[in-house]
Protein backbone atom coordinates (compact mmCIF):
# COMPACT_ATOMS: atom_id res chain seq x y z
CA UNK A 1 0.00 0.00 0.00
CA UNK A 2 1.09 3.62 -0.36
CA UNK A 3 2.85 4.73 2.81
CA UNK A 4 0.68 7.12 4.78
CA UNK A 5 0.61 9.21 7.89
CA UNK A 6 -2.91 9.48 9.22
CA UNK A 7 -3.17 12.56 11.40
CA UNK A 8 -5.99 12.85 13.93
CA UNK A 9 -6.53 16.53 14.58
CA UNK A 10 -8.62 17.54 17.54
CA UNK A 11 -10.83 20.56 17.89
CA UNK A 12 -13.07 22.41 15.47
CA UNK A 13 -11.37 24.34 12.72
CA UNK A 14 -13.29 26.75 10.52
CA UNK A 15 -12.93 26.50 6.77
CA UNK A 16 -13.15 30.14 5.76
CA UNK A 17 -10.18 31.91 7.35
CA UNK A 18 -6.83 31.43 5.64
CA UNK A 19 -4.94 32.05 8.87
CA UNK A 20 -6.49 28.94 10.41
CA UNK A 21 -4.59 26.56 8.12
CA UNK A 22 -2.58 24.02 10.10
CA UNK A 23 1.21 24.20 9.88
CA UNK A 24 3.22 20.97 9.73
CA UNK A 25 6.79 20.56 10.89
CA UNK A 26 9.21 17.67 10.47
CA UNK A 27 10.90 15.75 13.29
CA UNK A 28 12.50 12.48 12.11
CA UNK A 29 9.66 10.11 11.22
CA UNK A 30 7.23 11.85 13.58
CA UNK A 31 4.90 14.64 12.49
CA UNK A 32 3.75 17.37 14.88
CA UNK A 33 0.36 18.99 14.32
CA UNK A 34 -1.02 21.52 16.77
CA UNK A 35 1.48 20.25 19.33
CA UNK A 36 0.41 16.61 18.92
CA UNK A 37 2.90 13.90 17.83
CA UNK A 38 1.83 11.29 15.27
CA UNK A 39 3.68 8.17 14.14
CA UNK A 40 3.77 6.55 10.69
CA UNK A 41 1.05 4.13 9.70
CA UNK A 42 3.23 1.10 10.51
CA UNK A 43 3.65 2.28 14.10
CA UNK A 44 -0.09 2.89 14.43
CA UNK A 45 -1.00 -0.54 13.03
CA UNK A 46 -3.68 1.19 10.99
CA UNK A 47 -5.71 -0.63 8.35
CA UNK A 48 -5.12 -0.20 4.62
CA UNK A 49 -5.49 3.20 3.03
CA UNK A 50 -8.99 4.59 2.83
CA UNK A 51 -10.08 7.97 1.55
CA UNK A 52 -12.98 9.87 3.00
CA UNK A 53 -14.66 12.97 1.69
CA UNK A 54 -12.04 15.64 1.16
CA UNK A 55 -9.05 13.60 2.29
CA UNK A 56 -6.18 16.00 1.83
CA UNK A 57 -2.62 15.60 0.67
CA UNK A 58 0.19 17.15 2.62
CA UNK A 59 3.93 16.96 2.36
CA UNK A 60 5.63 14.21 0.47
CA UNK A 61 9.21 13.68 -0.64
CA UNK A 62 10.50 13.37 -4.17
CA UNK A 63 14.27 13.83 -3.71
CA UNK A 64 16.37 10.92 -4.91
CA UNK A 65 17.22 9.85 -1.34
CA UNK A 66 13.82 10.59 0.15
CA UNK A 67 11.01 8.20 0.84
CA UNK A 68 7.79 8.43 -1.16
CA UNK A 69 5.56 8.95 1.84
CA UNK A 70 2.28 10.77 1.37
CA UNK A 71 0.83 12.53 4.39
CA UNK A 72 -2.89 13.13 4.77
CA UNK A 73 -5.39 14.51 7.24
CA UNK A 74 -8.13 12.24 8.57
CA UNK A 75 -10.27 15.18 9.67
CA UNK A 76 -9.74 17.12 6.45
CA UNK A 77 -8.51 20.34 7.98
CA UNK A 78 -6.68 21.38 4.84
CA UNK A 79 -3.14 21.57 3.56
CA UNK A 80 -1.12 23.54 1.07
CA UNK A 81 -0.86 21.21 -1.92
CA UNK A 82 -4.33 20.07 -2.89
CA UNK A 83 -8.07 19.92 -2.36
CA UNK A 84 -9.05 20.60 1.23
CA UNK A 85 -11.71 21.83 3.60
CA UNK A 86 -10.64 25.44 3.15
CA UNK A 87 -11.43 25.34 -0.56
CA UNK A 88 -7.91 26.27 -1.71
CA UNK A 89 -8.03 26.17 -5.49
CA UNK A 90 -4.65 27.18 -6.92
CA UNK A 91 -1.03 26.07 -6.35
CA UNK A 92 2.02 27.47 -8.11
CA UNK A 93 5.83 27.51 -8.06
CA UNK A 94 7.94 30.44 -9.27
CA UNK A 95 10.81 30.08 -11.75
CA UNK A 96 13.50 32.68 -12.39
CA UNK A 97 16.14 32.96 -15.06
CA UNK A 98 18.74 35.44 -16.28
CA UNK A 99 17.12 37.09 -19.28
CA UNK A 100 20.44 38.66 -20.27
CA UNK A 101 21.78 35.18 -21.00
CA UNK A 102 18.71 33.76 -22.68
CA UNK A 103 15.06 33.99 -23.47
CA UNK A 104 12.76 31.10 -22.82
CA UNK A 105 9.30 29.89 -23.73
CA UNK A 106 7.30 27.30 -21.82
CA UNK A 107 5.75 24.52 -23.91
CA UNK A 108 4.38 22.38 -21.07
CA UNK A 109 4.92 21.11 -17.54
CA UNK A 110 6.15 17.94 -15.84
CA UNK A 111 4.37 17.17 -12.57
CA UNK A 112 3.93 14.47 -9.93
CA UNK A 113 0.44 14.28 -8.46
CA UNK A 114 -0.87 12.00 -5.73
CA UNK A 115 -4.18 11.24 -4.09
CA UNK A 116 -7.14 8.94 -4.47
CA UNK A 117 -9.55 9.18 -7.39
CA UNK A 118 -12.34 7.07 -8.84
CA UNK A 119 -11.88 5.70 -12.37
CA UNK A 120 -15.20 7.22 -13.47
CA UNK A 121 -14.38 10.71 -12.14
CA UNK A 122 -15.17 13.61 -14.49
CA UNK A 123 -13.28 16.25 -12.49
CA UNK A 124 -10.55 18.29 -14.19
CA UNK A 125 -7.71 20.63 -13.31
CA UNK A 126 -6.24 23.49 -15.33
CA UNK A 127 -2.47 23.59 -15.69
CA UNK A 128 -1.27 27.18 -16.03
CA UNK A 129 1.72 29.37 -16.71
CA UNK A 130 1.35 32.77 -15.06
CA UNK A 131 3.37 35.93 -15.47
CA UNK A 132 4.78 37.44 -12.29
CA UNK A 133 2.71 40.39 -11.14
CA UNK A 134 4.23 43.59 -9.82
CA UNK A 135 5.23 43.76 -6.15
CA UNK A 136 2.12 44.26 -4.05
CA UNK A 137 1.30 45.03 -0.44
CA UNK A 138 0.73 41.88 1.59
CA UNK A 139 -2.22 41.58 3.96
CA UNK A 140 0.05 43.12 6.61
CA UNK A 141 1.22 46.74 6.54
CA UNK A 142 4.85 47.36 5.43
CA UNK A 143 5.22 43.77 4.13
CA UNK A 144 5.22 43.25 0.38
CA UNK A 145 4.86 40.23 -1.90
CA UNK A 146 7.54 39.93 -4.55
CA UNK A 147 5.24 39.33 -7.49
CA UNK A 148 2.49 36.75 -7.00
CA UNK A 149 0.94 35.03 -10.06
CA UNK A 150 -0.43 37.56 -12.52
CA UNK A 151 -1.88 36.98 -15.97
CA UNK A 152 -2.36 33.46 -17.37
CA UNK A 153 0.04 33.06 -20.31
CA UNK A 154 -1.13 29.62 -21.44
CA UNK A 155 -3.14 26.75 -19.99
CA UNK A 156 -4.41 23.23 -20.50
CA UNK A 157 -7.39 21.41 -18.99
CA UNK A 158 -6.56 17.85 -17.85
CA UNK A 159 -8.93 15.22 -16.42
CA UNK A 160 -7.73 14.12 -13.00
CA UNK A 161 -7.83 10.52 -14.23
CA UNK A 162 -4.92 11.43 -16.55
CA UNK A 163 -2.63 12.94 -13.90
CA UNK A 164 -0.71 9.73 -13.25
CA UNK A 165 -2.34 9.06 -9.88
CA UNK A 166 -2.47 5.35 -9.03
CA UNK A 167 -6.07 4.16 -8.94
CA UNK A 168 -5.47 1.63 -6.16
CA UNK A 169 -3.64 1.62 -2.83
CA UNK A 170 -0.95 -0.59 -4.32
CA UNK A 171 -0.55 1.45 -7.52
CA UNK A 172 2.29 3.95 -7.69
CA UNK A 173 1.82 7.58 -8.64
CA UNK A 174 3.86 8.46 -11.74
CA UNK A 175 5.43 11.65 -13.06
CA UNK A 176 3.66 12.89 -16.18
CA UNK A 177 4.45 15.42 -18.91
CA UNK A 178 1.75 17.74 -20.24
CA UNK A 179 2.31 19.81 -23.38
CA UNK A 180 0.29 22.96 -24.04
CA UNK A 181 -1.53 23.33 -27.36
CA UNK A 182 -0.14 26.88 -27.48
CA UNK A 183 3.23 27.56 -25.84
CA UNK A 184 4.02 30.88 -24.25
CA UNK A 185 5.82 33.56 -26.17
CA UNK A 186 9.52 33.90 -25.36
CA UNK A 187 9.66 35.16 -21.78
CA UNK A 188 12.06 37.68 -20.34
CA UNK A 189 11.01 37.65 -16.68
CA UNK A 190 10.12 35.31 -13.83
CA UNK A 191 6.97 33.21 -14.12
CA UNK A 192 4.88 30.67 -12.20
CA UNK A 193 3.75 27.17 -13.18
CA UNK A 194 1.01 25.31 -11.35
CA UNK A 195 -2.62 24.34 -11.46
CA UNK A 196 -6.10 25.45 -10.44
CA UNK A 197 -9.13 23.33 -9.60
CA UNK A 198 -12.73 24.32 -9.04
CA UNK A 199 -14.69 22.32 -6.48
CA UNK A 200 -17.01 22.65 -3.55
CA UNK A 201 -16.36 20.85 -0.30
CA UNK A 202 -19.46 18.69 -0.71
CA UNK A 203 -18.65 17.73 -4.30
CA UNK A 204 -15.26 16.05 -3.75
CA UNK A 205 -16.88 12.63 -3.24
CA UNK A 206 -13.58 10.89 -2.56
CA UNK A 207 -11.63 12.45 -5.44
CA UNK A 208 -8.70 14.10 -3.72
CA UNK A 209 -5.52 15.30 -5.42
CA UNK A 210 -2.42 17.33 -4.69
CA UNK A 211 1.12 17.97 -5.88
CA UNK A 212 4.02 16.16 -4.31
CA UNK A 213 6.77 18.30 -2.77
CA UNK A 214 10.20 17.76 -1.33
CA UNK A 215 10.57 17.45 2.43
CA UNK A 216 9.81 20.44 4.61
CA UNK A 217 12.91 22.60 5.27
CA UNK A 218 14.65 21.31 2.10
CA UNK A 219 13.86 24.51 0.23
CA UNK A 220 16.99 26.66 0.14
CA UNK A 221 15.50 29.94 -1.11
CA UNK A 222 15.33 32.82 1.37
CA UNK A 223 11.93 33.51 2.92
CA UNK A 224 12.43 37.27 2.86
CA UNK A 225 14.53 39.66 0.87
CA UNK A 226 16.78 41.95 2.94
CA UNK A 227 15.10 44.59 5.00
CA UNK A 228 15.01 48.11 3.68
CA UNK A 229 14.49 51.22 5.72
CA UNK A 230 10.72 51.04 5.38
CA UNK A 231 9.54 47.53 4.47
CA UNK A 232 10.14 43.79 4.20
CA UNK A 233 9.61 41.86 0.96
CA UNK A 234 8.40 38.25 0.92
CA UNK A 235 10.29 36.00 -1.50
CA UNK A 236 7.29 34.29 -3.13
CA UNK A 237 8.66 30.91 -4.23
CA UNK A 238 5.50 28.80 -4.04
CA UNK A 239 2.01 30.06 -3.35
CA UNK A 240 -1.57 28.95 -2.77
CA UNK A 241 -4.74 30.57 -4.05
CA UNK A 242 -7.41 30.58 -1.36
CA UNK A 243 -11.12 30.13 -1.97
CA UNK A 244 -11.65 33.87 -2.36
CA UNK A 245 -9.14 33.99 -5.24
CA UNK A 246 -6.32 35.71 -3.33
CA UNK A 247 -2.78 34.28 -3.58
CA UNK A 248 -0.74 33.67 -0.42
CA UNK A 249 2.88 32.71 0.16
CA UNK A 250 3.22 29.18 1.57
CA UNK A 251 6.30 29.86 3.72
CA UNK A 252 4.93 33.01 5.36
CA UNK A 253 1.13 33.21 5.29
CA UNK A 254 0.03 30.50 7.71
CA UNK A 255 1.81 27.30 6.67
CA UNK A 256 5.47 27.93 7.45
CA UNK A 257 6.45 25.28 4.88
CA UNK A 258 9.91 25.51 3.33
CA UNK A 259 9.54 23.11 0.43
CA UNK A 260 9.28 23.05 -3.36
CA UNK A 261 6.38 21.68 -5.37
CA UNK A 262 7.03 18.86 -7.82
CA UNK A 263 6.03 20.74 -10.94
CA UNK A 264 8.56 21.87 -13.53
CA UNK A 265 8.27 23.83 -16.78
CA UNK A 266 9.17 22.23 -20.11
CA UNK A 267 11.23 24.98 -21.72
CA UNK A 268 12.75 25.92 -25.04
CA UNK A 269 15.78 28.17 -24.61
CA UNK A 270 16.39 31.05 -26.98
CA UNK A 271 19.29 33.48 -27.35
CA UNK A 272 19.90 36.33 -24.96
CA UNK A 273 21.93 39.50 -25.23
CA UNK A 274 25.15 38.17 -23.65
CA UNK A 275 26.71 34.84 -22.71
CA UNK A 276 25.76 31.26 -23.51
CA UNK A 277 22.01 30.54 -23.59
CA UNK A 278 21.11 28.97 -20.24
CA UNK A 279 18.52 28.95 -17.51
CA UNK A 280 19.51 29.06 -13.84
CA UNK A 281 17.06 27.50 -11.43
CA UNK A 282 17.95 27.02 -7.76
CA UNK A 283 21.04 24.82 -7.47
CA UNK A 284 21.73 24.28 -11.15
CA UNK A 285 22.09 25.98 -14.52
CA UNK A 286 20.52 24.24 -17.50
CA UNK A 287 22.08 24.52 -20.96
CA UNK A 288 19.93 22.07 -22.92
CA UNK A 289 21.00 19.01 -24.91
CA UNK A 290 23.21 18.46 -27.93
CA UNK A 291 23.08 17.28 -30.60
CA UNK A 292 19.43 18.10 -31.02
CA UNK A 293 18.10 16.45 -33.17
CA UNK A 294 19.88 13.32 -32.00
CA UNK A 295 20.37 9.91 -33.60
CA UNK A 296 22.10 7.47 -31.24
CA UNK A 297 23.12 9.72 -28.34
CA UNK A 298 22.44 13.18 -26.97
CA UNK A 299 24.20 14.95 -24.10
CA UNK A 300 22.30 16.96 -21.49
CA UNK A 301 24.48 19.74 -20.12
CA UNK A 302 24.03 21.50 -16.78
CA UNK A 303 26.01 23.03 -13.91
CA UNK A 304 25.53 22.57 -10.17
CA UNK A 305 26.21 25.21 -7.53
CA UNK A 306 26.84 22.54 -4.88
CA UNK A 307 27.07 18.76 -4.58
CA UNK A 308 23.73 17.10 -5.35
CA UNK A 309 22.08 13.95 -6.61
CA UNK A 310 20.57 14.33 -10.08
CA UNK A 311 17.83 12.30 -11.77
CA UNK A 312 17.17 12.58 -15.50
CA UNK A 313 13.92 11.10 -16.84
CA UNK A 314 12.94 10.63 -20.49
CA UNK A 315 9.26 10.57 -21.45
CA UNK A 316 7.28 10.49 -24.67
CA UNK A 317 5.09 13.46 -25.53
CA UNK A 318 2.09 11.86 -23.80
CA UNK A 319 4.03 11.70 -20.53
CA UNK A 320 4.76 7.97 -20.52
CA UNK A 321 8.05 7.28 -18.72
CA UNK A 322 10.66 5.64 -20.96
CA UNK A 323 13.87 5.64 -18.94
CA UNK A 324 15.52 7.15 -15.87
CA UNK A 325 19.19 7.90 -15.18
CA UNK A 326 20.35 8.61 -11.60
CA UNK A 327 23.68 10.22 -10.72
CA UNK A 328 24.73 10.38 -7.06
CA UNK A 329 26.86 13.05 -5.38
CA UNK A 330 27.73 15.09 -8.44
CA UNK A 331 30.10 17.84 -7.37
CA UNK A 332 29.72 21.55 -7.98
CA UNK A 333 30.56 22.53 -11.54
CA UNK A 334 29.53 21.64 -15.09
CA UNK A 335 28.33 18.15 -15.99
CA UNK A 336 26.92 16.26 -18.96
CA UNK A 337 24.73 13.17 -18.90
CA UNK A 338 24.73 11.05 -22.05
CA UNK A 339 21.30 9.72 -23.05
CA UNK A 340 21.20 6.69 -25.34
CA UNK A 341 18.58 7.36 -28.03
CA UNK A 342 19.50 4.51 -30.39
CA UNK A 343 16.44 2.42 -29.47
CA UNK A 344 13.95 5.30 -29.61
CA UNK A 345 11.68 5.68 -32.64
CA UNK A 346 12.03 8.95 -34.54
CA UNK A 347 9.99 11.71 -32.94
CA UNK A 348 9.84 14.24 -30.11
CA UNK A 349 10.52 13.45 -26.45
CA UNK A 350 10.53 15.24 -23.09
CA UNK A 351 13.37 14.97 -20.62
CA UNK A 352 13.25 16.28 -17.06
CA UNK A 353 16.08 16.96 -14.60
CA UNK A 354 15.49 16.97 -10.84
CA UNK A 355 18.06 17.60 -8.11
CA UNK A 356 18.04 16.33 -4.55
CA UNK A 357 17.21 19.74 -3.07
CA UNK A 358 13.99 20.12 -5.07
CA UNK A 359 15.19 22.01 -8.15
CA UNK A 360 13.99 20.90 -11.55
CA UNK A 361 13.38 21.81 -15.17
CA UNK A 362 12.44 19.99 -18.36
CA UNK A 363 12.94 20.41 -22.10
CA UNK A 364 12.24 18.78 -25.43
CA UNK A 365 14.54 16.75 -27.68
CA UNK A 366 14.09 15.34 -31.18
CA UNK A 367 15.26 11.92 -32.39
CA UNK A 368 15.79 11.34 -36.10
CA UNK A 369 16.51 8.20 -38.09
What per-residue confidence (pLDDT) applies to 282?
A: 66
- CA pair distance 269, 12, nearest whole angstrom: 50
Over residues 233-271, the pLDDT tens digits come to 998 988 999 889 999 998 888 567 777 888 889 998 876
pLDDT bin (cut points 50, 70, 90) of residue 129 is very high
What per-residue confidence (pLDDT) applies to 96?
A: 81
Minimum mean pLDDT among 2-16, 29-43, 99-113, 332-346: which range? Answer: 2-16
More confident residue, 285 or 343: 343
High-pLDDT (> 90) share of the chain, %: 34
The domain 282-367 having CATH identifier 3.90.1720.10: the answer here is no
Over residues 4-35, the pLDDT tens digits come to 222 222 222 222 222 333 333 233 333 333 33
Numbered ranges of CATH 2.60.40.2550 in the chain: 282-367
More confident residue, 111 or 139: 111
Closest residue by Cα to residue 220 from 286, 305, 118: 305
Amino acid sequence: MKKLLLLAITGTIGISAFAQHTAITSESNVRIVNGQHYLPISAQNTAAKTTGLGDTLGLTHFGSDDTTTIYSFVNDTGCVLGTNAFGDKGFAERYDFASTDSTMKVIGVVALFGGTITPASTKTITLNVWSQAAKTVSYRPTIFDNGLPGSVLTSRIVPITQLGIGLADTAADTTKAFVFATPTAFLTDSFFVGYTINYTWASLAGDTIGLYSNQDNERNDPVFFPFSTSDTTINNVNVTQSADGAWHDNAVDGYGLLNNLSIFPIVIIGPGTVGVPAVTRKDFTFYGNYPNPATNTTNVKFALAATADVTLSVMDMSGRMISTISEKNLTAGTHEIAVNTSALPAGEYIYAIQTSNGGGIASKMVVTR
